[in-house]
Structure 1
């Protein structure tokens, strides 16, 4: 069931630049892309497959980062501070990978 959130409100006000991918539990909005509920063969099914693969990759990456950096498991900071912490972890992850 869809529940209004602070993020949803911020999206509607246009405070973010870019797009978010959501699952079927969210309504499709201008900046929140969700899969077609009953896709027709062709472009809609292709979109749903690409959407599913992309969300799976994002979720896998988040899991990888949380496994490497325990501090990401229970972040209780402002969204701005969380972004700084996540970017730092991604940079460190990329350095460690190299």
Structure 2
């Protein structure tokens, strides 16, 4: 059983899927898949995926290259071929950075998440979810410990799936053309 939980770095782990808002609050947290399972498989087997596929939620999720590009799920480009694509990529990285900051602060707040849990796998999964619930509770209580979180740009370590569907790629192209094509250097939306 434990070998299924061995990840690509040869460590026993649980693959945790999370969606957070701009305030670092967990909106969705799934901690029940072995570390050997690819992120896109975790996502495509989640309740969130079913809800998004039905089209019942407006807006976009941002994910790293390990996820498929869908009409509701924007992923980074594998290669930028224009200034508009470079701007999209930069904004995508900066915006998606909130999940990296959240995981970093969450692991610092709940050190057990950074160390080896000496528990049964099912119990470890429950501990991860409980730490997520407690995290949201602390945010609701206005715990100021998180106020000064450092922003860093994480490079995608994940191998690009280059997956998605034609409507997802078309939606991303439309976003780039409509929102990033006409951003000029003097614009307040210009990102360095």
| 1:75 Cα deviation from its structure 2 partner | 0.4
Give the Cα separation in 2 of the matches to 1:37 and 1:51: 13
Where does residue 58 of structure 1 map in the other structure? Answer: 99
| 1:74 Cα deviation from its structure 2 partner | 0.5
CA RMSD of aligned residues (A): 2.9
Where does residue 38 of structure 1 map in the other structure? Answer: 79
Q: Where do 1:51-90 residues align within 5 Å?
A: 51-69=92-110, 74-75=128-129, 86-90=135-139
Give the Cα separation in 2 of the matches to 1:13 and 1:40: 33
Where does residue 5 of structure 1 map in the other structure? Answer: 45
| 1:41 Cα deviation from its structure 2 partner | 2.4
SS at match of 2:51: helix
Closer, same or farther: CA 70–16 of 1 in aligned 2, 3 Å: farther
| 1:85 Cα deviation from its structure 2 partner | 5.1
Structure with the larger RCO, 1 or 2 (CA within 8 Å, 6+ apart): 2
- The count of aligned residue pairs is 91
Choose between structure 1 and 2: higher helix proportion: 1
Choose between structure 1 and 2: higher strand proportion: 2
Closer, same or farther: CA 62–89 of 1 in aligned 2, 3 Å: farther
Give the Cα separation in 1 of the matches to 2:90 and 2:98: 12
Give the Cα separation in 1 of the matches to 2:89 and 2:109: 30
Give the Cα separation in 2 of the matches to 1:26 and 1:13: 18
SS at match of 1:74: helix
